[in-house]
Homo-oligomer: A and B are copies of this chain.
């Protein structure tokens, strides 16, 4: 669509053309599959619908964020955070350190390419939101990251073990991740800790070896 329009200056509608090119590129996130399934176990979840679920969680659970948290920025971060997977793919949360390091390099290269499709001021703003999410320094990023950790735990509980059982993950490994949820929200952290205990009690998650 872009090339064709550039040939006709009468039709030049910047910044709209660049924005639509970005939004058309973004469609590919619907084809990136995560390890998690849907809660009805009918198929694997993709990263676009996962991002929608997180944005809905931000809306519904905003009362559990620290006072003064800007939920609009949380929502923007969760809507954007997985776009890099269009190039880099999704990596399982419990992958090894080497795979994690490779993934980080690939995601940064993807962020360089994908956000640059937008008009320059918007590209910079979106990239800053993505960096903020990755760096986890603000209360908005901490809350967004807490939601991103909590959602697959809910899926695993609802599906009777899900990726925990499929990949032999043990309770101590999951508990390490709860620190990140607690860092974003005290009540969600407490809920997650309780969910892990119930998951172990019900055989959905193996106890620490």
Contact = CB atoms under 8 A, between A and B. Distances in A.
Given A20-B154, A23-B60, A46-B49, 5 more contacts: A13-B187, A19-B60, A27-B158, A49-B52, A55-B75
What 8 A-B pairs are tightest by C-beta distance, nearest first?
Answer: A52-B52, A48-B49, A27-B39, A72-B72, A49-B49, A30-B49, A48-B52, A19-B60
A71 interface: yes
A53 interface: yes
A137 B133 CA distance: 35
Give the dominant DSSP class at A's interface.
helix
Contacts of A98: none
Contacts of A1: 157-158
Question: Which bucket holds chain A's interface residue count?
Answer: 35 or more
B79 A55 contact: yes
Contacts of A158: 1, 24, 27
B187 A11 contact: no
A3 interface: no
A53 B38 CA distance: 19
B15 A27 contact: no
Q: Which of A27, A29, A118, A122 has its CB near the most chain B CB atoms (within 10 A)?
A: A27
Given A38-B31, A48-B49, A194-B11, A56 B26 contact: yes
Interface string A2-13: 001000000101
